[in-house]
Structure 1
């Protein structure tokens, strides 16, 4: 077989075209939550509070809807529903919905056609979902994790931890997390100021295992969700005096970089 080599001029043209094509590809948005996480995978990240940066001046409203669905409203008007299944009524039509595959209570294959962005935390071919999306004032990304199948065996990439970066805040939703995270996954997550964590005591992970994840992430504000069966006190008992606990009489909380608690606080919203 005869191999023909490209002339230097043709090769330069090919490289130039390839370079131009790469230049036209949208750049992946920088993550403020990951800034040094990948370089320091064993670090524990403290939450960051603004001291006057205009871009951190917004307030995010978070409302617990039910099960593992929260409704997040940003100052820029973006509305997000997490683990959206279509059963729970949100205050208004979401702009973005995220879903996970573990059970039908965490996704729907027939979302309202008016929802602009439907983000699956899995891929049908079994590969890892990969979302890097800017919607209004929010940057949305995900970190894939595995799930436990009905037979008990682990299935790769069936869940995603969705992370919402907005108004200087890093907000993370663990989805239907079935295993403790690896150092690589902690690095991919980075800093989380607000953490939405399942507290069912075993359907996802046992309270002790889940508490280790919470302690490692050490978020300023921890919002329990997905409580089935065991009392919330079982989960709360896993934490020492380094964590404060607050029981809210409403289902909503307004969060900004200035309002984040100075000590890690577990806030149990009404309905949990």
Structure 2
């Protein structure tokens, strides 16, 4: 482990007791620290994880299931069905389209985090401390249903802070983040990015956004067949390595991030517990 990564790891551990004493909100180590660097390796859903590792399962469309070493399971842009698995511990949702949320989440899910506020125009402003993971939201605007206007703070980018990593899910992004939103996101080691090139942001905007985020790992999502996926990859491969996989999952830790920004293409698949 190099000096930079050692420092980040020590700072990450130092935040844990501080969080327990905080009266209001646990501090974000994603905003406090900025750096990256390593290698990604494969794993299987529900298998035991090494300490300080996270497994990312690409389930469908924009839905992922994040697994932690301590057994937490959190779903992004949850539509109500992950496969033949128990309900997760928490879910996030965005309402730009019904393929990113469900009006009837399983009542057994302890934490359901909508990316919008019941008060139109106000940010969702989530900051859920699950001990092993901190989930927070950065609100963004969405196009109106008619496409002629914009609804302020209609959706959210969710950030999952776990195992020293900062994992971002851009959701159904409709505009490039502002400087203030980039600052609120902080460092993102891993980012799930919609690459359809139209229903969310256009391809040049997505490329520009990811170039600015400079995450170690970019996982394309929200693609509709090889054409939109390949267009995105072609626009990124000059600055990013490309790792195309047949699997739907990867395991990553702070110490195994790639040394050069890498696009990791996963194949979506519903989940099933091993029998």
Could you state the TM-score of these two structures normalised by the residue count of structure 2?
0.81
Q: Which residue of 1 aligns with 2:246?
A: 249
The aligned runs of 1:218-233 (5 Å cut-off) are: 218-228=214-224, 230-233=227-230
Pair 1:200-2:196 in alignment? yes
Q: Which residue of 2 aligns with 1:151?
A: 146
Q: Which residue of 2 aligns with 1:111?
A: 105
Question: Aligned partners of 2:101 and 2:141: how far apart in 1?
Answer: 16
CA contact 2:96–2:155 (8 Å) conserved in 1: yes
The aligned runs of 1:1-272 (5 Å cut-off) are: 26-35=23-32, 45-47=34-36, 57-89=51-83, 91-126=85-120, 127-152=122-147, 153-228=149-224, 230-271=227-268
Aligned-pair CA distance for 1:258 = 1.3
Q: How many residues align?
A: 235
SS class of match (2:232) = helix
Higher RCO by CA contacts (8 Å cutoff, separation 6 or greater): 2
Question: Aligned partners of 1:233 and 1:246: how far apart in 2?
Answer: 13
Larger Rg: 1
Question: Aligned partners of 2:22 and 2:251: how far apart in 1?
Answer: 36
CA contact 1:219–1:264 (8 Å) conserved in 2: yes
Q: Which residue of 2 aligns with 1:21?
A: none
Question: Aligned partners of 1:93 and 1:85: how far apart in 2?
Answer: 12
For structure 1, the residue ranges without an aligned partner over 5 or more in a row are 1-23, 37-44, 50-55
CA contact 1:48–1:193 (8 Å) conserved in 2: no
Aligned-pair CA distance for 1:57 = 4.5
Could you state the TM-score of these two structures normalised by the residue count of structure 1?
0.82
For structure 2, the residue ranges without an aligned partner over 5 or more in a row are 1-20, 39-49, 270-275
Question: Aligned partners of 1:34 and 1:110: how far apart in 2?
Answer: 33
Aligned-pair CA distance for 1:93 = 1.6
Structure 1 or 2: more helix by fraction: 2
Aligned-pair CA distance for 1:207 = 1.0
Question: Aligned partners of 1:267 and 1:25: how far apart in 2?
Answer: 36
Runs of 4+ off more than 6 Å = none
Q: Deviations over 1:1-23 (max 9, x none)?
A: xxxxxxxxxxxxxxxxxxxxxxx
CA contact 1:63–1:251 (8 Å) conserved in 2: yes
Question: Aligned partners of 1:25 and 1:263: how far apart in 2?
Answer: 36
In structure 2, relative to structure 1, the CA distance for the partners of 1:90 and 1:100 (3 Å cut) is farther
Question: Aligned partners of 2:56 and 2:70: how far apart in 1?
Answer: 14
